[in-house]
Amino acid sequence: METSQFRLRQNLAALLRERGMTAAELSRKTGVAKQVLSDWMAGVQPRKLEQLYVVAQTLEVSLETLCFATSDGELFAGKKSSPPHTNTNGASGIDIPELRGRFEVYLRRISDE
């Protein structure tokens, strides 16, 4: 089975450049700490799927595109992410059990190479 390379560092930097946005602006729009975004751009693995999801939504790409796109064509033509889901008590938040499980397993497989 072929393993896709985790490319969050490169893809996030390219998307910010293409959209004329700084990490500080993205932080303000998403609520994800600027230091977390800076860490990702320095190669630190993300720890919270929810943060990745919000960043992908804000940049209008899918999680897969944000993390695994291998070319500018794939990165900038990535499908737009879906609107935020709400959790079962109606509060705003991310509650996508089927995506969460599939994505976390994939992240572990990539990071354990």
* CATH number of the CATH domain containing 99: 1.10.260.40
Give residues with Cβ within 8 angstroms of 59, minimum separation 6: 15, 19, 26, 66
Range of the domain at 80: 8-111
pTM of the predicted model, to two decimals? 0.68
On whether residue 92 sits in a domain, the answer given is yes
Pull the structure tokens for residue 69: 């796109």
Number of domain units in the chain? 1
On whether residue 3 sits in a domain, the answer given is no
On whether residue 94 sits in a domain, the answer given is yes
On whether residue 89 sits in a domain, the answer given is yes
pLDDT tens for the chain, 113 residues: list them: 345 688 999 999 999 999 999 999 999 999 999 999 999 999 998 888 889 999 999 999 988 889 888 888 888 875 444 444 434 333 345 554 444 554 544 444 344 44
On whether residue 2 sits in a domain, the answer given is no
On whether residue 12 sits in a domain, the answer given is yes
